[in-house]
Amino acid sequence: MTAPIERNAVVAVIGAGAMGTGIAQIAATAGHPVRLFDVKPGAAAAAIAGLHATLSRLADKGKLSADAAASAAQRVHLAETISELDDAALVVEAVVERLDVKRTLFAELESVVGPGCILASNTSSISITAIAAGLQQPQRVLGMHFFNPAPLMALVEVVSGLATDAALAQAVYDLALAWGKSPVHTKSTPGFIVNRVARPYYAEGLRLLHEGAADAATIDAVMREAGGFRMGPFELMDLIGNDVNLAVTRSVFEAFYNDPRFTPSLIQQELVNGGFLGRKSGRGFYSYAVDATAPAPQTEAAAALPASISLWAGSACAAGIATRLRAAGVIFESHAAAHADGRLLDAGGTAVYLSDGRSATWRASDSGDRATVVLDLALDYAKAKRVALCAADQASAAEFGAAVSVFQAAGFAVSRFDDVPGMAVMRTVAMLANEAADAVNQGVCSAAAADLAMQKGVNYPRGPLGWADAIGLPHVLAVLDHLAQAYGEDRYRASPLIRRKVWAGGRFDA
């Protein structure tokens, strides 16, 4: 049994940049004496001055009592040299993202700190096993991966390398909990949980843009207003910086020996080539010039309702649409049982299906019914502001319009995508769940940890595995298998764990 890290134990933070300063603030606010060290002269002192200002701002806003802010500020001490960190119970390193620098630093720390001191790295991409290699006590090295801005983001990935002592990882997990954070355990594998599982959020958006499914503003609007994500992939990449986002994708891609699942996008590479880095350079997917106006998402013009509408219940999707149609006073025929071919509704002869990964054209070819329209996934059809639809190439404009009109009558804005398999939200959520399932299958983390990490680390509206359970794992597997068939690419191979759960009739219950 390892002793817990006491509230009055000294926490040392190395690197007084954005992350180190935030981590120092968290530890000091939680009651720890904090020692902050930075190799650059004046950097730690400037960070401490900034921290004092932040704490008093928090007190002014009533987020902290004046007493709590003042005593937290007093607990942060400047360390002039590494040797002043000798009384630390925990060191959190947040210096430049370079293995050689981190290794040298950890070796130096070993000669300074006591035998019980835990050495943590805030690295987001370097192997904890590699940082610990060659140290005298590699078992006390682990990752404590905060998210930016650290005081606001709840997630902490507690990363165990090959040599990490599980009891120490648990002590750090408990400490993060005591600091009010949401910690998760993970193994030291490329991208840990969040930076790996989030890749499809960007990759599928980029893929859709590359294939001309819709423009960036439309895909972003659908991901936000149907998917419930806080930001669409393109506005998010512009915020992160296309150079930074591409670098993370590249590092995960290379670390997985060029697994096609993580293939970087030519579109993003070209933006980086051109210096279109996003907000910071004034232009990325969007322009941020002072006179620029944000492009509006494509939205279908109002269409006339057909004479007859039928809706087949039996799914959350159909229930949400039915409730909205009723509230809008639209008369429709409601069937209690599911339709034999799975259609959700019939709009004057146009069959509308929830995307199962087949394009509408493919579905129409399979069924022989040319009036086929496919609906993208929404987080909650009872509340979504927008939905996306695809029409089969075989369908007429009037047949598509009939489907559009029903969703408009139910209060949705409707965006039309070119007829791509899996559409946007369905394809992205299936791929996020697939990646999370693979991480679970490979022992990187538990299903619950994967879901918590994505909700707390990148603010997803729902954990991908819980979301996949809600959609139905057989449906998610069908989406993946259809995408694999449509593209003939290994990128869309289904995780063996999803397939296994479908065979067993199981769920993730994350």
> Active-site residues: which are they?
124, 145, 157, 195
Nearer to ligand NAI, 106 or 353 (CB): 106
User: Cβ contacts of residue 42 below 8 Å, gap of 6+?
Assistant: none
Nearer to ligand NAI, 40 or 57 (CB): 40
Q: Which of residues 99-128 bind ligand NAI (CB under 6 A)?
A: 101, 105, 122-124
Q: Which of residues 471-500 bind ligand NAI (CB under 6 A)?
A: none
Q: Do 75 and 103 meet the contact criterion of CB atoms below 8 Å apart?
A: no
Contact call for residue 95 and ligand NAI (CB under 6 A): yes
Contact call for residue 15 and ligand NAI (CB under 6 A): yes
Contact call for residue 18 and ligand NAI (CB under 6 A): yes
Question: Of all residues in this chain, which one has the CB nearest to ligand NAI in the complex?
Answer: 17
Question: What gap in Å lies between CA 142 and CA 135, rounded to an integer?
Answer: 13
Which stretches of 136-286 are DSSP H helices? 166-178, 194-197, 199-210, 216-225, 233-240, 242-255, 266-273
Q: Which stretch binds ligand NAI (CB under 6 A): 36-44, 62-70, 305-313, 382-390?
A: 36-44
Cis, peptide link before residue 149, omega less than 30° from 0? yes
Contact call for residue 230 and ligand NAI (CB under 6 A): no
Nearer to ligand NAI, 142 or 471 (CB): 142
- Residue 210 vs residues 213, 491, 493: alpha-carbon distances, Å: 8, 16, 20
Nearer to ligand NAI, 19 or 406 (CB): 19
CB atoms within 10 A of CB 170: 17
CB of 5 to ligand NAI, least distance (A): 21
Residue the block writes with tokens 């289904």: 494
- Residue 42 vs residues 16, 20, 391: alpha-carbon distances, Å: 10, 15, 62
Q: Which stretch binds ligand NAI (CB under 6 A): 146-154, 280-288, 439-447, 456-464?
A: 146-154
Contact call for residue 13 and ligand NAI (CB under 6 A): no
Nearer to ligand NAI, 156 or 371 (CB): 156
Contact call for residue 20 and ligand NAI (CB under 6 A): yes
User: Which of 74, 56, 76, 75 is CA-nearest to residue 66?
Assistant: 56
Cis, peptide link before residue 33, omega less than 30° from 0? no
Contact call for residue 14 and ligand NAI (CB under 6 A): yes
Contact call for residue 231 and ligand NAI (CB under 6 A): no
Q: Quick one: tokens of 34?
A: 């904090």
Contact call for residue 39 and ligand NAI (CB under 6 A): yes
Among 24, 34, 38, 168, binds ligand NAI (CB under 6 A): 38
Nearer to ligand NAI, 39 or 313 (CB): 39
Among 8, 83, 148, 442, binds ligand NAI (CB under 6 A): 148
Pairing mode, strands 372-375 and 350-354 = parallel
Question: What gap in Å lies between CA 420 and CA 391, rounded to an integer?
Answer: 10
Nearer to ligand NAI, 18 or 266 (CB): 18
Q: Which stretch binds ligand NAI (CB under 6 A): 24-32, 93-101, 224-232, 391-399?
A: 93-101
Q: Is 438 exposed, middle or buried (0-12, 13-18, 19+ CB in 10 A)?
A: buried
Contact call for residue 43 and ligand NAI (CB under 6 A): yes
Kindly tell me the number of DSSP H helices and DSSP E strands found in the chain.
20, 15
CB of 459 to ligand NAI, least distance (A): 14
Among 2, 17, 133, 320, binds ligand NAI (CB under 6 A): 17
Question: What gap in Å lies between CA 148 and CA 423, rounded to an integer?
Answer: 31
Q: Quick one: tokens of 137?
A: 């006590």
CB of 95 to ligand NAI, least distance (A): 4
Among 4, 7, 8, 40, binds ligand NAI (CB under 6 A): 40
| Residues near ligand NAI (CB under 6 A), total | 23
Nearer to ligand NAI, 247 or 382 (CB): 247
Contact call for residue 453 and ligand NAI (CB under 6 A): no
CA 401 vs. chain centroid, Å, equals: 34
Helix (H) or strand (E) holding 311: strand 309-312
Contact call for residue 338 and ligand NAI (CB under 6 A): no
User: Which of 10, 11, 53, 8 is CA-nearest to residue 31?
Assistant: 8
Residue the block writes with tokens 């009592």: 65
Among 5, 94, 172, 406, binds ligand NAI (CB under 6 A): 94
Contact call for residue 298 and ligand NAI (CB under 6 A): no
DSSP structural state of residue 356: -
Q: Which stretch binds ligand NAI (CB under 6 A): 14-22, 48-56, 127-135, 215-223?
A: 14-22
Contact call for residue 16 and ligand NAI (CB under 6 A): yes
Nearer to ligand NAI, 243 or 393 (CB): 243
User: Which of 308, 457, 327 is CA-nearest to residue 381?
Assistant: 327
Collapsed DSSP state (helix, strand, coil) of residue 142? strand
User: Which of 473, 466, 445, 365 is CA-nearest to residue 186?
Assistant: 445
Contact call for residue 83 and ligand NAI (CB under 6 A): no
Question: What gap in Å lies between CA 397 and CA 195, rounded to an integer?
Answer: 42
- In the complex, the residues that contact ligand NAI under the rule CB under 6 A are 14-20, 38-40, 43, 94-97, 101, 105, 122-124, 146-148
